[in-house]
Amino acid sequence: MEVIPVDHDAVLLMAEHLSQTHTMLSGNRTLDIMHVATAKHLSAKEFLSFDGRQKKLAKIVGLKTPL
């Protein structure tokens, strides 16, 4: 397993943007938004989740959500 450092300030800014632009429509919770923002910040291509709202947000930001 590899631990990859993140720029926490950048993730928080991205999460704030996602919250402002998508939460009213999708009802995402704080940690859902933080997880998606972190994945996007790390340039992930796929996002795994069993939470429908979280998957919807991940798709909106361009992440593939298999399953």
pTM of the model: 0.90
63: which residues sit within 8 A by CB, 6+ positions away?
Answer: 36, 39, 40, 44, 45, 46, 47
pLDDT value of residue 67: 76
* Rounded CA separation 19/12 (Å): 10
In tens, the pLDDT along 6-53 reads 999 999 999 999 999 988 877 899 999 999 999 999 999 999 999 999
pLDDT value of residue 23: 84
pLDDT value of residue 27: 86
pLDDT value of residue 26: 79
* Rounded CA separation 57/65 (Å): 10
Does residue 38 sit in helix, strand or coil? helix
Q: Which DSSP letter does residue 64 get?
A: B
